[in-house]
Amino acid sequence: MTCWNFSAGPAVLPTAVLKKVQDELLSYQGSGMSAMELSHRSSLFQHIITDAENALRTLMNIPDNYHVLFLQGGASTQFASIPMNLLKDKKAGYVISGMWGKKAFEEANKLFPDRTVVIADSTPNNHTEIPEIHIENETEFDYIHITTNNTIEGTAYHTIPKFKQTLLVADMSSNILSADYDISDFGLIYAGAQKNIGPAGLTIVIVREDLIGKNSEHIPTMLDYQTYVKSKSLYNTPSTFPIYVSKLVFDWLLELGGVPKMLEMNQEKATLLYSTISESNLYTSPVHPDFRSLTNIPFVTGDTELDKKFVTEAEKAGFVNLKGHRSVGGMRASLYNAFPLEGVQALVTFMKEFEQREGLAT
């Protein structure tokens, strides 16, 4: 039976990439060794990590004055690394647009309680909208932290706020490479790989070169960006296999037509699901139409028992991981880059049939 994996992360990977991994699994480029078994100091691995960086630079149009770092510890480790590296003598402003933004704030606040402030918060409306930022004086801030796509709540920024006198830092874990951003709008971008890039175990940081290296003596070596700049992400053993698979995903993306093409494909997928939701009498989206995510789409029936039934029946029919996050409930379909249109077409057919069966269609 076909399995459509709607997981929010670790998430679906392109079949073509998995096949390539399979083909090369026992002997990477005729070396007689798996990519997993290569020394991270070997020239074969050097090529993998260099190619991965170059492909990502091409895909995201990353200017030369930005470093690309391949790290571990997940996006969650960045919640601490970012203030340690970027908070100088001013304040850090955090936008709480969902659970991840809140966690990012709390971690920074634990380290620098006097200098971290919440500058916008959508908690009062259950994060169904992106909150507006109100700050009087940009120059009081070393940086402003946002989450471009809220994985759990299903909201996203469709216009990136711009600042002239402070830096924008963005957690892009769940929509990196699916929206066309101008890197120069940001001081730092970070993302855990397991949603829209590759396997879990790799975290990517893109940071403007002039922002780092100033606090080095006070930062643990493994959390200091300078460590990875100097060593080209090879200070210690990096997550070699996830880097290799991510490189294959980048190549796959480039071959398909890059980020603009991905955006177009993601819009088509998301539109199909959102229009099915809005045309139905059963399903609703909890998210304000202006802020709807293209990659994580929650929907509910309004009846928790019926939601449960939907999830159970969907799973039997091959639609897996549709259960909403425990904090939100209902359903959530994650439609990352590697998720095919056919899977969304199959899902909306299932949704309509379910609605019919429950006698709720008109």
- Which of 173, 239, 293, 301 is close enough to bind ligand PLP by CB under 6 A? 173
Q: How far is the CB of 77 from ligand PLP (least distance, A)?
A: 7
Q: Which residues contact 231 (CB under 8 A, 6 or more apart)?
A: none
CB of 331 to ligand PLP, least distance (A): 17
**CB of 179 or CB of 351, closer to ligand PLP:** 179
Binding test (CB under 6 A) with ligand PLP, winner from 53, 171, 307, 355: 171
Is 151 or 301 the residue whose CB approaches ligand PLP more closely?
A: 151
Closest to 10 in 3D by CA, of 347, 336, 263 = 336
List 11, 35, 75, 248, residue binding ligand PLP (CB under 6 A): 75
**In DSSP terms, which residues pair with 192 in a beta bridge?**
203
Residues 6+ apart with CB under 8 A from 114: none
- Residue 53 parent element (H or E): helix 43-60
| Tokens coding 324 | 């909403």
d(CA 94, CA 12): 30
Tell me the closest approach of the beta carbon of residue 193 to ligand PLP, in angstroms: 8
Q: Is the dihedral of CA 5, 2, 339, 278 positive or negative?
A: negative
Please, which residue, 122 or 151, has the CB nearer to ligand PLP? 151
Residues 203, 198: Cα–Cα separation, whole Å: 10
* CA–CA dist 335, 5 (Å, integer): 9
Q: Which is nearer to ligand PLP, 91 or 195 (CB)?
A: 195
| Residue nearer to ligand PLP on the CB measure, 82 or 351 | 82
What is the closest distance, in whole angstroms, from the C-beta atom of residue 135 to ligand PLP in the complex?
Answer: 22
CB contact at 8 A, 319 and 4: yes
Binding residues for ligand PLP, total number by CB under 6 A: 12
DSSP 244-259: HHHHHHHHHHHHHTHH
Binding mask 123-152 for ligand PLP (x = CB under 6 A): ------------------------x---x-
CB of 76 to ligand PLP, least distance (A): 3
Rounded Cα distance, 122 and 105, in Å:
14
76 belongs to the binding site for ligand PLP (CB under 6 A):
yes
Q: How far is the CB of 179 from ligand PLP (least distance, A)?
A: 13
How far apart are CB 149 and ligand PLP at their closest, in Å? 6
Strand 155-156 with 149-150, pairing: antiparallel
Is residue 251 within 8 A of residue 243, CB to CB? The reply is no
Region binding ligand PLP by CB under 6 A among candidate stretches 127-135, 153-161, 169-177, 231-239: 169-177
Catalytic positions: 100, 171, 195
Residues 188-217 that bind ligand PLP (CB under 6 A): 192, 195
Site string for ligand PLP, 83-122 (x = CB under 6 A): -----------------x----------------------
Using CB under 6 A, which of 14, 74, 131, 330 touches ligand PLP? 74
Residue span binding ligand PLP (CB under 6 A) among the ranges 68-76, 118-126, 284-292, 335-343: 68-76
Q: Is 253 exposed, middle or buried (0-12, 13-18, 19+ CB in 10 A)?
A: buried
Given 97, 155, 174, 321, the residue binding ligand PLP (CB under 6 A): 174
Rounded to a whole number of angstroms, the distance between the first and last alpha carbons of the chain is: 31
The one-character DSSP state at 132 is P
- Residue 26 — φ and ψ, nearest 5°? -85, -25
Residues that bind ligand PLP (CB under 6 A): 9, 74-76, 100, 147, 151, 171, 173-174, 192, 195
